[in-house]
A and B are shown apart, each in its own frame.
Chain A
Amino acid sequence: MIDLLALSPAWWQETFLIKVPIGLLAVLLPAGTIVYLYLFKAISFMQSRLGPMEAGPYGSLQLLAEVGKWIQKEDIFPSKADKFVFAAAPFVVLMSTFLLVVIIPAGPDALFVDLDAGIYFAMAVSSVSVIGILMAGWSSANKYSLLGGIRAAGQLIAYELPLILAVVGVVIQAGTMNMQGIVLAQAEGEIFGWGGIGNPFILTQFIGFVIFMIAVQAELTQAPFDMPVAESELVTGYLTEYSGIRFLLFFIGEFASAGVFSAIAAVLFFGGWYVPGIDPASQLFNVIGPLILAGKMMVIAFLIFWFRFTFPRFREDQLQRLAWKFLIPLSLANIALTGVLKVAV
């Protein structure tokens, strides 16, 4: 698209003036939309009520009001808290989210960085948020936060494995770890010789998709896996001592992660910016690609939040049992099956 405008900016101009603002926007805008549409409105409709209606038309500016409220609060430090670690924890979590968005392609040329090990980079970076949560839980000098941090550590590490193993099936089928390559493999693939709609991996990797969604739910500590933030027991767990802007950063991080993981799922399983019928190399996709990706992302995010609002939460040991005894063997079987079918068929 930069070629369209016949500009040739320098490396630093391209990064800091174009890519960084767009990257920030690409994380914050979907996060805000998800918060409004799903957290305020969809949960209200599922509970026969209306949700926020006063701030702006149909309550659309409620998020702005909430942000303003959090920003003007007093910055409270527990007296026994480890100051540096306490302050740094939200930034660690946010940093991993912002780094994740770097590899998501929104069109044939509309991407930030074209890494050959795209999905590998994503999985590695998403694990960094675990450290942030542990830092938050430990440095708060509060028994409830400590319990929440311990639970979070166990849960997040346990569910990293099914997440990665589910992705491996996709990688085998696509033949590449490059995100753009995965999209093109779905666009140009064929199902039993028919290339009409390409080969969206949701059809062949359905088990992988289910495992991925369960693992994402656990990575985001959403119900039914929200033991670390079990509100009725631990008063928001590792987040208990955070208030004001720091809480806002965690909040943004949670919903931005939901958006980013949904986008990754859209790319991996639903074809990303591609819709069947248009030539994948056309320039049209650079314009409508981001919109298509956003649409698919919202659909998958709805799935995440639908589960969150409906199900009660697992106990910690049941969580672990589900991950280690059920999800990991299943994903290993999925990889084996994919490998066999890829070679044989």
Chain B
Amino acid sequence: MSQLPGILKGLKVTFRTMMKTLFPGGLLKPIPKPSEGALTVQYPHVKEAPPPRARGVIALHEGNCTACMLCARECPDWCIYIEGHKELAPPRREGGKPRQVNALDRFDIDFSLCMFCGICVEVCPFDALFWTPEYEFSELKLADLLHDKERLGEWMETVPDFEEYEDGSEQKVRKVPRS
């Protein structure tokens, strides 16, 4: 076989690929089914699921956010807009004094600027931001790519649970807060 000239071997490769695409069940089942044999999927009829860690869009869990502004400061593109105010919350137990908490007024992420780098998610000290693998959020107007607090909260439903690690790892699996 190795004595055949190289051009004939090359022809064999392409022919074999064509046969594999046309007849994915092998030549014993000569029914052509190229949609199974091809390695492409016909989006949008068939959708592939990205892995759980895929960086699709960012979700906000408002309960954990204290408007500390760390994510807005660390973002390389400055695409997070946060406004908050201080208010008095009821004391934790009876007879205590009211606590001062930061309440969130506005938390927008402008996805037309976002680099999807993940620095904001990583740097948040209170676990308020999470990645979800959702990627189908294209809009017709550029301004609609600014996701406000409510929309970011809706993305929380699509956040998958954190995966287990390989053996030998010392990392602890974090929990996603589901309210």
Point out the residues of chain B lying under 8 angstroms from A42, CB to CB.
18
CA distance A42 to B38 in the complex (A): 12
Q: B14 near A48 (CB under 8 angstroms)?
A: no
Across the interface, name the chain A residue whose C-beta is closest to B11: A310
Point out the residues of chain B lying under 8 angstroms from A307, CB to CB.
11
Q: Which of A44, A50, A307, A311 has the most CB of B within 10 A?
A: A50
Q: Would A45 and B7 be within 8 Å (CB), given that A306-B14, A310-B14 are in contact?
A: no
Q: Is A309 an interface residue (CB 8 A)?
A: yes
Q: A45 near B11 (CB under 8 angstroms)?
A: no
Q: Is A282 an interface residue (CB 8 A)?
A: no
Across the interface, name the chain B residue whose C-beta is closest to A312: B10
Across the interface, name the chain B residue whose C-beta is closest to A307: B11
B18 to chain A, nearest CB (A): 4
B47 to chain A, nearest CB (A): 16
The residues in B between 30 and 68 inclusive whose CB is less than 8 angstroms from any CB of A are 34-35, 37-40, 42
B87 to chain A, nearest CB (A): 55
Q: B38 near A48 (CB under 8 angstroms)?
A: yes
Kindly identify which residue among A46, A50, A309 contacts B40, using a CB–CB cutoff of 8 Å.
A50
Q: Is B22 an interface residue (CB 8 A)?
A: yes
A245 to chain B, nearest CB (A): 32
CA distance A307 to B15 in the complex (A): 10
Across the interface, name the chain B residue whose C-beta is closest to A53: B42
Q: Would A50 and B10 be within 8 Å (CB), given that A42-B18, A45-B18, A45-B21 are in contact?
A: no
Q: Is B112 an interface residue (CB 8 A)?
A: no
Q: Would A49 and B10 be within 8 Å (CB), given that A42-B18, A306-B15 are in contact?
A: no
CA distance A47 to B39 in the complex (A): 9
A306 to chain B, nearest CB (A): 7
Point out the residues of chain A lying under 8 angstroms from B21, CB to CB.
44-46, 48-49
Q: A311 near B17 (CB under 8 angstroms)?
A: no
Q: Which of B14, B17, B39 has the most CB of A within 10 A?
A: B14
Q: A49 near B38 (CB under 8 angstroms)?
A: yes
Count of A interface residues, CB-CB < 8 Å: 14
Point out the residues of chain B lying under 8 angstroms from A47, CB to CB.
17
CA distance A46 to B14 in the complex (A): 5
Q: A310 near B10 (CB under 8 angstroms)?
A: yes
Count of B interface residues, CB-CB < 8 Å: 18
Q: A48 near B40 (CB under 8 angstroms)?
A: yes
Task: Type the 1/0 row for A297-325, where 1 means its CB is closer than 8 Å to any CB of B.
Answer: 00000000011011100000000000000
Task: Type the 1/0 row for A24-64, where 1 means its CB is closer than 8 Å to any CB of B.
Answer: 00000000000000000010111111100100000000000
CA distance A53 to B44 in the complex (A): 12
Point out the residues of chain B lying under 8 angstroms from A50, CB to CB.
34-35, 38, 40, 42
Q: A45 near B17 (CB under 8 angstroms)?
A: yes
Point out the residues of chain B lying under 8 angstroms from A53, CB to CB.
42
Q: A49 near B39 (CB under 8 angstroms)?
A: yes
Q: Which of B7, B18, B42 has the most CB of A within 10 A?
A: B18
Task: Type the 1/0 row for B1-33, where 1 means its CB is closer than 8 Å to any CB of A.
Answer: 000000100110111011011100000000000
Across the interface, name the chain A residue whose C-beta is closest to B41: A50
Q: A48 near B39 (CB under 8 angstroms)?
A: yes
Point out the residues of chain A lying under 8 angstroms from B34, CB to CB.
45, 50
Point out the residues of chain A lying under 8 angstroms from B18, CB to CB.
42, 45-46
A209 to chain B, nearest CB (A): 16
Point out the residues of chain A lying under 8 angstroms from B14, CB to CB.
46, 306, 309-310
CA distance A61 to B17 in the complex (A): 25
Point out the residues of chain B lying under 8 angstroms from A45, CB to CB.
17-18, 21-22, 34, 37-38
CA distance A78 to B6 in the complex (A): 43
Q: Which of A42, A307, A310, A311 has the most CB of B within 10 A?
A: A310
Point out the residues of chain B lying under 8 angstroms from A309, CB to CB.
14
Point out the residues of chain B lying under 8 angstroms from A46, CB to CB.
14-15, 17-18, 21
Point out the residues of chain A lying under 8 angstroms from B37, CB to CB.
45, 48
A55 to chain B, nearest CB (A): 13
20 new A-B contacts, CB < 8 A, other than A45-B38, A311-B10, are: A42-B18, A44-B21, A45-B17, A46-B15, A46-B21, A47-B17, A48-B17, A48-B20, A48-B21, A48-B39, A48-B40, A49-B21, A50-B40, A50-B42, A306-B11, A306-B14, A307-B11, A310-B7, A310-B13, A310-B14
Between A and B, 5 residue pairs with Cβ closer than 8 Å are: A44-B21, A45-B37, A46-B17, A50-B38, A50-B40
The 4 A-B residue pairs with the shortest CB-CB distance, nearest first, are A45-B21, A45-B18, A46-B18, A48-B39
Residues on B lying within 8 angstroms of A by beta carbon are 7, 10-11, 13-15, 17-18, 20-22, 34-35, 37-40, 42
